[in-house]
Structure 1
Amino acid sequence: MIELDTTDRQILRALVQDATQSAGAIGRALGLSQPAAWRRIKRLRDAGILKTQRLDLDKEALGFGVTVFLGLKLATKGRVSLADFERAVSAIPEVQTVEHILGLYDYRLRVVARDISDFERVLRRRIMTLPGVGDVEANVLLSEERRPGPIG
């Protein structure tokens, strides 16, 4: 792990706000030259601190108005390979994230759907038919506030 100084943290905060910013724009905002900002960003990437750049799509504008979090417990842990389950559930396009968790449930899924009846279709025809699926608890997302992770 590399040591992060104040400038590194400022660069990370700037990229969390808008990952499409150029090194020149970040440099100007922080009082650095473009090459200096680029070198720092490259160092952060090379160290694995900056993993990917992702697009933040507006799900509602794309017609997906409902987000549901599913707590899912496998009924037959010994008979179903976790890797096989994860591969099968990840192949469902409406499933946005698959998180293997510790607690009451084995997995937490983030599922998007056009509406509640579309979600019911995805649940009944795709998720509940996967091998090993046992108990399921659904929580419908009402609102979301995104916060960047800890930068320090």
Structure 2
Amino acid sequence: MIDNLDQAILDALLLNARTSYAEIAKQHGVSPATIHVRVEKMRQQGIITGAKLTVNPRALGFDVCCFIGITLARAGDYPSALKQLQALPEVVEAHYTTGQYSVFIKVFVKSIDDLQHLLIEKIQPIDEIQATETLISLQQPILRDISVAQ
């Protein structure tokens, strides 16, 4: 699927997506054109799906990160519930899961008062949602992308 050079390219870009192809090429003794071709090949294969800017939510005043486990009334309620959750800007991730919760979401809000408002006024009124359980994140000691070398 990918060889050692592809893996090295991915590692470099995961560390810093703004690393130039020339710099990666120099580190691995190949031409920048080779790096370009390899990156394009991985894009076409769906391995690389884009590059993104990372924002620190706390620097923007979003001091509360929470995970909310959601139990749906019925399994068939998932599409409708998801559509309503997608409309909430506070929801930054959603996962359809097995186990105790039907859906597990990650939210950022500026304060506990904002969290209470989100729960009471926006999430719990969704008809398809039977119950919620909220877990407040105290810190995030690990944040990384998947390692190619796993």
TM-score (norm 1): 0.91
Map 1:140-151; keep pairs closer than 5 Å.
140-144=136-140, 145-151=142-148
Q: Structure 2 CA distance, aligned partners of 1:72 and 1:27?
A: 47
Q: What is the RMSD of the two structures over their aligned residues, measured on CA atoms?
A: 1.3
Map 1:22-33; keep pairs closer than 5 Å.
22-33=20-31
Following superposition, the deviation at residue 85 of structure 1 comes to 1.3
Aligned residue number for residue 46 of structure 1: 44
Map 1:67-106; keep pairs closer than 5 Å.
67-78=65-76, 80=77, 82-106=78-102
Q: Structure 2 CA distance, aligned partners of 1:135 and 1:128?
A: 7
Task: Give the letter for the 2:146 counterpart.
Answer: G
Unaligned 5+ segments in structure 1 are none
Percent identity between the two aligned chains: 27
Aligned residue number for residue 112 of structure 2: 116
Aligned residue number for residue 62 of structure 2: 64
TM-score (norm 2): 0.93
Q: Structure 1 CA distance, aligned partners of 2:112 and 2:26?
A: 47
Unaligned 5+ segments in structure 2 are none
| Corresponding pairs, count | 148
4+ long deviations beyond 4 Å: none
